[in-house]
Amino acid sequence: MSASRLRGRFALAAVVGLAAVRVGAEAIPGPIVIAVDATEAPRRLFHVRESIPAPAGALTLAYPKWIPGEHSPAGPITDLVGLKLSRDGRPVAWKRVPTDVWLFTCDVPAGAGPLEVAYDYVAPLTSQTTATAQLLILNWWSVILYPEGPNDNATLFSPSLRLPAGWKFGTALPVLRETGDTIAFANASLVKLIDSPVLAGAHFNTVDLTPGEKPGHWLHLAGDSAAAVAIAPEDVKHYQRLVAEAQALFGARHYDNYHFLLALSDHIPSNGLEHHESSDNRAAERALTDDDAKKVLGTLLSHEYVHSWNGKYRRPVGLVSGVSADYQPPVDSRLLWVYEGLTEYLGDVLGARSGLRTPELYRENIALYAAQMDAQAGRAWRPLEDTATSAQLLYWGRSDWADWRRGVDFYPESELVWLEADTIIRQKSGGKKSLDDFVKAFHGAPGGPPSVKTYQAEDVVAALNAIVPYDWAGFFRARVSDVAPRAPLGGIENGGWKLVYNAEAPDLTRAGEEESKLYDFWFSLGIVVQDGEGTSGEGEDGRIQDVIPGSPAAVAGIGPGMRLVAVDGRRYSEKRLRDALHAAQGTQEKIELLVENVDTFRTYTVDYHGGERYPHLERDPGKTDWISAIGKPLTTKP
């Protein structure tokens, strides 16, 4: 898709509140009524009814395919079931488009009433629209069919949602009225609807983060238990500071109101999805009550919040699906090192500035990213930019040989790139300027209701040069476009710190292990080991999730998918593997691992004597401590 066409469609998206729906070339009055019945959500069943005032003739109905923020054709079309069309009570036949299975065609007969469309959405727990017995998250893009046409952006919807009895909800979608358990929302464009998920639940808590202020900010919590949604006052303060720090950083907002939605469940995978005026966040049930789980939750909400500026307002020209409201064409995601990478950086910076993470945890996270990226074998063949370009597939990449394949490294590695850019600006300006100035210029004023301003790589380079002149094009070429055998560690070094390794597990690693039972022997043996729910059945301990090529485990012949059965002659446990590392440390003794490979058992001998080994940042006293300066709050909000 050419840039000029994208810009043309973007201009179209700026037109808000058109009164008529257009189907093909013919305008029809009134909005599409869409009613979602979620009363059976606890058994992962959503009933959908749409009334489309379509004129007689050919009609194509589209199910959103390329989902904004997912950067992939993630529209879960296989879970749309029971599709029936009718007009005035008479069935209307449909056919799927063989070359694009997200599209349905039909021939609408003449009639008095609208085209009635009925179907169910069957939602797995891994879906972006899903539910447990106690809560649900509704993303409208999984429960909507829209008439495809040259002007489909003008489509208006009149949405309603029926919840299980007594459930409360939160959303950025303006509410018209509530009748019993049914919510009628104000008419919304397709873009607005798809951008506005709903969180609901039996155990629900809404916290007003900026009472009496405009725009308003709310934190909505739904959990699998009443205890899960009881947020402590000091944690509320952190999120209040997040809002204040973001305003201080960007200097303007691009929303009317903002709603943080947070689902707290151990049955729904942790995740986050960004929107202009809200974010859909999912974390463990105890993410607000247990210290380790809180560390794992970390900066999820600050990351998704940053996206309101970086990703939603400023958006790479190739990622404009949802601006044009045409969700069917493929996207060009090569600039995700800005869209996601700068968001990862700023989300962590704001996490430190707002107190969501202590300065120690902020540095631990940088150390872990740096060490993971630096140890990665796949960087020998694949530039960072290629991971962004391939995001549509890499998001679904398996964990085996992920180190050799590379994963969605445009998150962690780009954080290191942006840290280096920040330290360069601070060094060159003698501390007078920073990446904050770039962000304010690029993502800030004028502010106002949601809008989209696209950019290309050259715009990023030009905006950086306006802050501090430098060979920014060459800087990004070397770190993003070219194969780079080492991770970009310049930001740590410029920032007054050194990446070092010692036997002490970082708090973030320990907390993550506690939560996930995925054990980190990455910088020692070169493996990560999954206890519990392994890939080939429940309750199996010792599954080797991945191996670093060239590491001691790999040299011994061990590969991903194998399972540790015994360590030095005794049944495997994570603690016994640690014991074996300690026993072999500084000796000539080798570690003997009995390993199950499919149905064959074999003993592998690992020649490793370095003990436990984890990354940390260590202060370099000869240099200015820019990393601590970056994490300092801009506001004086208590």
Q: Where along the sequence are the contacts to Zn ion (CB under 5 A)?
A: 340, 343
**Helix, strand, coil content of the chain in percent (nearest 5):** 30, 30, 40
What are the tokens at 481? 């476009």
Residue 340 CB, nearest distance to Zn ion (Å)? 5
Evaluate whether 438 touches 425 at the Cβ level (below 8 Å). yes
* CA pair distance 273, 638, nearest whole angstrom: 29
Residue 274 CB, nearest distance to Zn ion (Å)? 6
Residue 114 CB, nearest distance to Zn ion (Å)? 38
* CA pair distance 412, 301, nearest whole angstrom: 16
Residue 197 CB, nearest distance to Zn ion (Å)? 15
Closest CB to Zn ion among 134 and 343? 343
What's the one-letter identity of residue 425?
I
* CA pair distance 345, 91, nearest whole angstrom: 53
Closest CB to Zn ion among 145 and 350? 350
Residue 339 CB, nearest distance to Zn ion (Å)? 7
Residue 65 CB, nearest distance to Zn ion (Å)? 20
Closest CB to Zn ion among 344 and 612? 344
Largest CA distance in the chain: 87
Distances (CA, A) of 520 to 388, 394, 525, 566, 614: 26, 22, 9, 18, 9
Residue 198 CB, nearest distance to Zn ion (Å)? 20
DSSP 123-165: --TTSSSEE-SSEEEE-GGGS--EE--TTGGG-EEEEEEEPST
Which among 149, 112, 158 has a CA at the least distance from the CA of 27?
149
* CA pair distance 177, 163, nearest whole angstrom: 14
Residue 417 CB, nearest distance to Zn ion (Å)? 16
Closest CB to Zn ion among 63 and 411? 411
Phi, psi at 19, each rounded to 5°: -80, -25
Question: Integer distance in angstroms from the first to the last C-alpha of the chain?
Answer: 48
What are the tokens at 598? 């499919």
Closest CB to Zn ion among 155 and 281? 281
Closest CB to Zn ion among 308 and 343? 343
What are the tokens at 108? 């609408």
Closest CB to Zn ion among 340 and 403? 340
Closest CB to Zn ion among 47 and 275? 275
